Structure 1
Amino acid sequence: MPQRPIIALDFPNKEEIISFLNHFPSEESLYVKVGMELFYQEGPEIVTWLKSLGHDVFLDLKLHDIPNTVESAMRGLAKLGVSMTNVHAAGGINMMEGALRGLKEGSVDGNRPLLIAVTQLTSTSEEAMQHEQGLMMTLEDSVIHYAKMSQIAGLDGVVCSALEANTIKKHTSTDFICLTPGIRPLGAAVGDQQRVVTPGGARDLSANFIVVGRPITRANNPYQAYQEIKKEWNGEV
């Protein structure tokens, strides 16, 4: 079965999502990302609605707080039945373990969502990381360090640039998930991303999931753009 790119629904409200989804066949099951912008405006109901349409949901809230708070939050989020969610690896091993416990305890059908951790945002450059975060190491070393922490905590994988996926798998395991945003087809505007890769490049670099936003959501023909990216992601072009 062909893999689906995850579409980043970075819209401010449900009305704009309805308008966007009208470009797609109603029977086609999509994999969509609900991030902070949308979730904070529309609440959990937006996830329930998307699932009722037959779509899988990656709930991208990047939780980062004390372990008890994150565990409790994940216990509640698990009831939404999303396919995947995430935390910031910088929260530490205890926090990530708490998040995992919360997801397991809150899952209504016994099948918990995949849990992955953000290493370094794909909008972060090495210079910014060193200057603003005070991490005196290379960006790659930081990403590897966070990935190894995530594996120790029992998580399923990490969010990273596709440029780092092969290296992460060498330091963790071949089945450790690498979800990669910052995906841009050739010729597309980079925007605020720093470490970008094409859909085909991400496949060649061993990414497991790709997240694509503006190249699809801002396209003149979103469904055509989606299909072209999907074909490249699956090596069909």
Structure 2
Amino acid sequence: MAQADPADRDRLIVALDVPSVDAAEAMIARLGDSVGFYKIGYQLAYAGGLPLVEKLARAGKKVFVDLKLHDIGNTVARGVESLSSLGATFLTVHAYPQTMKAAVEARGTSGPKILAVTVLTSYDDRDLVDAGYALGVRDLVEARARQAQAIGVDGLVCSPEEAGHLRSLIGPDMTLVTPGIRPAGTAAGDQKRIMTPGKAIAAGASYLVVGRPVMEAADPKQAADAIVAEIAAAK
């Protein structure tokens, strides 16, 4: 397979959802130049993975720290300040107005771009009712997107199903990062709002977060290359 365009390659964010730094580093080595952007979430961060953010950044990789911060404003701000020194490209917070405002103010001009998580891709309308929300997924995502844009958040994390609608709503400047990506023929797992890589890019997604379809593939490098090729073809 021909060498991927770096711009296409970096639109794939591989989720390092593994239990140890050793396992993460082994996968990074296995993927090599096929992947230039990684996500570090709860599992790896709580297993001592935050220093890996700095290591990857020094190696020229981009890192998405997905901790979905949400607390009182002061606590969120201090957390963002601490994480800003690691060199991450993206940092997530939950899309509550006070939380977003605190994160944006604490980030300043040199911190990571703040992404607001609208509604988790494992949720559907019934789940929101069970959680006490009056709005369904589409309406809640739209409301939170408008609030995020007004506050100055850099981008949104949303289902690929919402990407097209949000892109038309918020315009071209905000970043849209979409988990819930499943190449054709792979299992949905615990995701409820999913889409193939090509369709997500065509819908307006800026970046795709892919975990199990790469991490659990027989040949992860080949799986990553195939997704990047689909991204390139969908532009």
TM-score w.r.t. structure 2 length? 0.92
Deviation of 1:163 (Å): 1.0
Alignment of 1:118-197 (within 5 A): 118-131=117-130, 133-197=131-195
- Residue 7, structure 1, aligned to residue 5, structure 2: no
Q: Which residue of 2 aligns with 1:33?
A: 39
Following TM superposition, by how much is the alpha carbon of 1:24 offset from its aligned partner in structure 2, in angstroms? Answer: 2.6
Query: 1:29 Cα shift?
Result: 5.8
SS at match of 1:44: helix
Do the aligned residues in 1 keep the contact of 2:34 with 2:221 (CA within 8 Å)? no
SS in 1 for 2:195: coil
State which drifts further: 116-125 or 49-58.
49-58
What is the alpha-carbon distance in structure 1 between the residues aligned to residue 14 and residue 49 of structure 2? Answer: 19
| 1:13-59 CA distance string (max 9 Å, x none) | 1111122123233x566100000110111143121222233211000
55 and 145 in structure 1: CA distance in 2 versus 1, 3 angstrom threshold: same
C-alpha distance in 1 between matches for 2:14 and 2:217:
12
1:206-235 Cα deviation digits (max 9, x unpaired): 111100001001111000000000110121
Q: Which residue number in structure 1 is paired with residue 217 of structure 2?
A: 219
Distance in 1, matches of 2:143 and 2:205, equals 18
In 2, Cα distance between equivalents of 1:226 and 1:33: 14
Partner residue, 2:65 = 59
* Residue 30 of structure 2 is aligned to residue 18 of structure 1: no
Map of 1:94 onto structure 2 = 98
SS for the counterpart of 2:209 is strand
Q: What are structure 2's unaligned runs of at least 5 residues?
A: none
* Alpha-carbon distance in 2 for matches of 1:50, 1:60: 15
Matched, 1:80 2:86: yes
CA RMSD of aligned residues (A): 1.7
Q: Residue 46 of structure 1 corresponds to which residue in structure 2?
A: 52
| Aligned-partner residue type, residue 52 of structure 1 | R
CA contact (8 A) 2:199 2:234 kept: no
Q: Which runs of 5+ in 1 are unaligned?
A: 105-109
What CA distance in whole angstroms lies between the structure 2 residues aligned with 1:180 and 1:29? 17
Q: Which moved more, 1:71-80 or 1:167-176?
A: 167-176
Please state which structure has a larger fraction of its residues in helix.
2
Q: What's the TM-score once normalised by structure 1's chain length?
A: 0.91
**Following superposition, which runs of at least 4 residues in structure 1 exceed 6 angstroms of deviation?**
none
Shift of 1:140: 0.3
Q: Which amino acid aligns with 1:56?
A: K
Give the % identical residues.
36
Q: Deviations over 1:101-123 (max 9, x none)?
A: 2111xxxxx53321110000001
| Counterpart secondary structure, 1:128 | helix
| CA deviation map 1:111-143 (0-9, x unaligned) | 332111000000111111112x22222210011
Instruction: State how far apart, in whole Å, the 2-side matches of 1:171 and 1:24 are.
Output: 36
